[in-house]
Amino acid sequence: MKMPRTPPSFTKLLQDAQDAGRLADILGAASEPETDSKYLHWDKLRHLPKPDGLTTEEWWLAVKLKRSAHLRRLALKDPRGVPFSYATPDPTPERLHDVDLLAGGTLKDTDPLTNPATKDQYLLRSLQEEAITSSLIEGAASTREKARELLRSGRKPRDHAEMMIVNNFLTMRRLAKLHDRELSVELVCDIHKWITKGTLKDPNDEGRFRTPGRPIGIVDAENSVFHVPPDGKELAERMEAMCAFANDKSNRPFIHPVLRAIILHFWLAYDHPFVDGNGRTARALFYWSMLRSGYWLAEFISISEIILKGPSKYGTAFLYTETDDNDLTYFILYHLEVLRRAIEALYEYIDRKTKSLRRLQQKIRMGATFNNRQWSLLDHALKHPNHEYTIEWHRGRHGVVHQTARTDLLELADKRLLEKRKVGRQWRFTPVANLEDRLRE
């Protein structure tokens, strides 16, 4: 990741323009850059063709002045006491509207997520992907396939990377049950403790803020410092302020719930209150806030999966904000794009899964391996993976004698498509966990 060029001093540019009597001319001639990403940082804008009659610095001054009229201050401040602020330029309103519809409403395409018979499968996949990719962002040395095997098998983690992944997974499962709780410093520390359990050099750092005077900085592989968080002595007060922001019931002035969740993500990551695990904790707080605000679909998406595809953009969004007078708009626009892509990825996955299931059902129907009764049961099992079948259920459904129904079910069990167990004198059958994969074999 490359450190962006810090913009020239806004105060000095303004003073120079006033002294030269050029302020009116500058404002009249300048406009936002006409690019796909209009809210450009100085690091990008300085390379573009400038408007006629203006220097690049004068153009930047005009852009900053026009933006400043729309900025809204936040309770978050940097160590110097300078507040962060944000604006909602295009396409922010459109992105927020999309999230309201896709993540908070009820759409026909989300039936697999709301259907109790299939919901758990999609939820498990989402939790696994977020746990894995969030850990990979933070440097966990593992492959996706090995990580999925770890979570599916339920075995104990064997190393530091696997411990990170399991911790993330268990924490994400807990968050769904905590969204009705107000955020507190204690809860923030608990979330960090769950995420970092058994992975820190000093176990005492689990769920504990950095101590005052303890040096810490965000650096790259060459030890270039990108960010120096507030000192440990400020953290208790800053975290209390963050929790108050997260819990604000009056919401005056109004902050869109999605923006509040994004700002909460940035706040925790910026303050960096722990010696390690801050990124994972920050993303966990984003999910907590989204679920608390009623965005139920957030439980099924993975923002880390999108972030991992372009990790430098994630870091750059933080740096743009910090280097340009604490303008959080950069991070908000980046995060909204991540959220949009994460929701799209979920719907694409649902579509692929649904089509794949239909093709499989057609193959089963056409195959000679199963009789019509067995095909009907397997079709039902694919849609209801937790259903329990009995010989009497199968007999009554197809109007056959007991022995025929018994043979049908036992044959499917012999093919390892159903698991059987005896309860008293009655056989009970349930679909195997990997029924789809078994049928494809």
**What is the token pair recorded at 220?**
């790259």
Contact partners, residue 409, CB within 8 Å, separation at least 6: 377, 389, 391, 394, 418, 420, 427, 429
CA atoms of 246 and 181, how far apart (whole Å) = 11
Q: What angle in degrees, to the nearest 10, is found between the helix axes of 160-178 and 185-196?
A: 150
Using DSSP bridges, classify how beta strands 389-390 and 426-431 pair: parallel, antiparallel or unpaired: antiparallel
Query: Residue 80: what pLDDT?
Result: 94
Would you put residue 223 in left (φ > 0), alpha (ψ -120 to 50) or beta?
left
- What element of type H or E holds 207? none
- For the chain, which residues make up each domain, given as ranges? 10-69, 74-351, 371-440
Helices (H) and strands (E) in the chain, counts: 20, 7
Burial label, 100 (beta-carbon count in 10 A; 0-12, 13-18, 19+): middle
Measured CA to CA, the distance from residue 306 to residue 341 in angstroms comes to 7
Hey, how many other C-beta atoms are within 10 angstroms of the C-beta on 160? 14
Q: How far is CA 350 from CA 103, 361, 393, in A?
A: 14, 16, 30
Q: The domain 74-351 belongs to what CATH superfamily?
A: Fido-like domain (1.10.3290.10)
CB of 209 closer than 8 Å to CB of 274 = yes
Cβ–Cβ contacts within 10 Å for residue 424, how many?
6
> Residue-wise pLDDT tens for the chain (441 aa)?
788 999 999 999 999 999 999 999 888 877 766 655 679 999 999 999 988 889 999 999 999 999 999 999 999 999 999 999 999 998 999 999 999 988 876 555 556 676 665 666 677 778 788 888 888 887 776 677 788 788 877 788 888 888 998 999 899 889 888 888 999 999 999 999 999 999 999 999 999 999 998 878 777 666 678 888 999 999 999 999 999 999 987 778 899 999 999 999 999 999 999 999 999 999 999 999 999 999 988 988 899 999 999 989 999 999 999 999 999 999 999 999 999 999 998 888 888 877 877 777 777 666 657 887 888 888 888 878 888 899 998 988 888 899 999 999 999 999 999 999 988 888 999 999 888 888 877
Domain 371-440: state its class.
mainly alpha
pLDDT at 37: 62
Q: Report the alpha-carbon distance of residue 387 to residue 185 in Å, rounded.
A: 42
